[in-house]
Structures are given as structure tokens and as C-alpha cells.
Structure 1
Amino acid sequence: MAFVKSGWLLRQSTILKRWKKNWFDLWSDGHLIYYDDQTRQSVEDKVHMPVDCINIRMGHECRDIQPPDGKPKDCMLQIVCRDGKTISLCAESTDDCLAWKFTLQDSRTNTAYVGSEILYDETAVASPPPYTAYATPPPEQTYGYGPYSGAYPPGTQVVYAANGQAYAVPYQYPYAGNSCPPSIPFFSSFSGWICEARRICIS
């Protein structure tokens, strides 16, 4: 970080309204800092131009102020701050006043140097929320069908033989397990004979 402009300026005090000579440094990050003298050991105040300054007045634009003795009003400069404070300055000459105005205006509108006070302000950039452990989501449900465990309705099965005679055969259900159901006799006719066959479970 380097100086953009440095030099002496007269500044009017806030309370007594007296003119005092201060040394001013304008830094490349937009900070205008003024000291008691050129040694920079005692800081009077500082202004962050891109953040704090809302207007810069020069000459007859300056309000409610009279220049120091022997100085024209064209040497006057006012920095209007966002908090309502106005810094009234007086340069050595009109040319010096113009140079300060243009340099301060550039630093005020140059957003590339807004830097720490806006982009990285601890109060403006919130901290990320603390880590929270979430429960592992349950696996996808699968749907399968096991063996039927309910009971079939009780009763008998009527089977007719080839000669028309009816036979009552009881149900063999329910059964449990994955094996084939037990054999159920039924009757059929072949060449006039009634023979018993067994149901075969085809897997």
C-alpha cells in the first residue's frame, strides 16, 4: 500500500473553529489520515473516503465557513461525511486545492479499494452456522411378498366322476412354508376306470 497524495492543509477545528495546520496522507486504499505534523506520530483522525465520504465541496460551494486570513475562498475544501460530520480544509493555493479535490474524488469513487471495512467487515460477513450432524436417511424400502400365512376358508370340494357320481373331498389347505402343498386326491376317468391322481406342484 502506498501514498497517493501527501501534504500540508489547514483544518478548522470542530469546537473552537480555529484553523490548525495538519499533515495529510491519502493512502491507495482510500484512507485519508491526518496528523499533528509530518512525523506522523500523533493521529488526529482518519476518513475512509469510499465508505465515509458522500460529497466533496470546493470554493464557493463550501457552506457556513470563511477562509483563513489572506486566503481566497477558492482554496477552500470541504469533505462531507456520512455521519453528518464536515471536515473544512484550506490549501496553500487554488491549484493545490484542485489537486486535492480531484485526488480525493477519485479515491471516493474507486470501489476497488473499499477493502476491509466493507467486504471483510466482521459485522457484515456472518459466520457460517455450526456443523449439525443429521441422522442417516433410512434405506429405500423394498416390498416383497412372503408365503401366505392366513387360513383358507373351511369346507369341502365336490368332484364328479365320469359316471356322474359326486365325491366330497375336504380342502387340504392351509399349509405353511415355501414347499409345494400336500397332495389332494381327485378323480378322473380314463377308459371307464376311476383312478386317483395326485396333484403335482410345478415349480
Structure 2
Amino acid sequence: MPSLRLGNIAPDFEAETTQGPVKFHEWIGDSWAVLFSHPGDFTPVCTTELAEVARRAPDFAKRNVKVIGISANGLEDHHKWAKDIEEWGGRFAPTTVGFPIIADADRRISTLYDMLDEQDATNRDAKGLPFTIRTVFIIDPKKTIRLLLAYPASTGRNFDEIIRVIDSLQIGDKYRVTTPVNWNKGDDVIVHPSVSTEEAKTLFPEHTVHKPYLRTTPLKVE
């Protein structure tokens, strides 16, 4: 299949997870979703990542975001690995892996979502299957892919950045704004180009015109 792009509908699938069978679109429901892949269980970088996602569960929940991991191993390994993840994350506070992890030992879903590592044609595991990379998909309630990030297997993700993008997308959908470089929630935003001069006076009475095409405004959101 062709590579997935922003704006595509996220492919639906059925899979076994650590929380039982999942029909992906049905599981997302009316929420946002983060699907994030891992090269393998019992690996150091992946362990730190899943512990961080478990720790940040309240941050995702208050944004109406469901998270689901996927790793190229079976359920038995996933359940065993969860104990290591919780031990690592629990060094400072109790940590529970409360989100599902998809079993994808045959790379079926990794292939469907093009999560494979093709940097080296010989990059295969002991079974001859391709390694997966660290891919992130942010998917909205309409099942549309809104963000794609692909990291090499050697580099852990920054989940502050992933949450920052979710905030940007959600306020953009709601308020007709975009966000500037290095934006964080609470910073000024950019009035969307589709908002006319007259509309801007009503919608954003405190906005500042820097250039005809660049208007910023404070935005109070919870």
C-alpha cells in the first residue's frame, strides 16, 4: 500500500492486545488517539518510553486522548515486560501500564502502517522479519491522521512534544488559530489566515497585526 500521509484515514484493524481484542476505529470512538510503535520488548529505550506514557496518563486523559502501544512481540512477552516497565517507572511514583499494547509479532499492523526500518536491507531479526521503528500517529475523533513522527530505533521520543502537538491541534480545531515556533500552551497564538480582518476584530479583540499575514493574539484556554 502507499505510504500514509497527513489527512488520510487511519487504517482500521483488529488485533490482540494486553487488554483484550481491539477493533481500532471502534476502540478510538469519539476520542483522540496516539498509536506508537516499538522495535521490541525487553529493550532499554522502549522500557523508558512506556514508563513515561504510563506516568503521563492523566495528561492524555484530560485531553480526551487514548494511547495504545504496539511492539513486535506476542502477548506473553508483553505481560512480562509490563512488570519491568512498572518497576522502572515506579522509582519515583507508583506506575501502572493502564493502556493496551498490541501484539504484532508477525509485523502485520507494522506493515499496514509502514512502521518498518528500511535503512539497511539486512536489518532483520532472527526470524528474518524487518525491525520496526519508533513511529507516532496522532489520530483525531474522525479517524484522520493529524501527525506522523518517525524516530530511529536508537532514539527515545519526547512525549512533551507529542502532548504539545495535541494541544496545538485541539485549540486550532476549536478556535481558528495556528501556533508559532516553540509554542506552548498559554503562549500567544496566530490568527488563522482564513479569518478576515473584520472577523478578527470580533473573534480576537486583543490581537496584534505584525504583518498583513501575521497576526498574533492571546488565547485563554483551560
Give the TM-score normalised by structure 2.
Answer: 0.28
Larger radius of gyration between Structure 1 and Structure 2 = 1
Give the TM-score normalised by structure 1.
Answer: 0.30
Higher relative contact order (CA 8 A, sep 6+): 2
Structure with higher strand content: 1
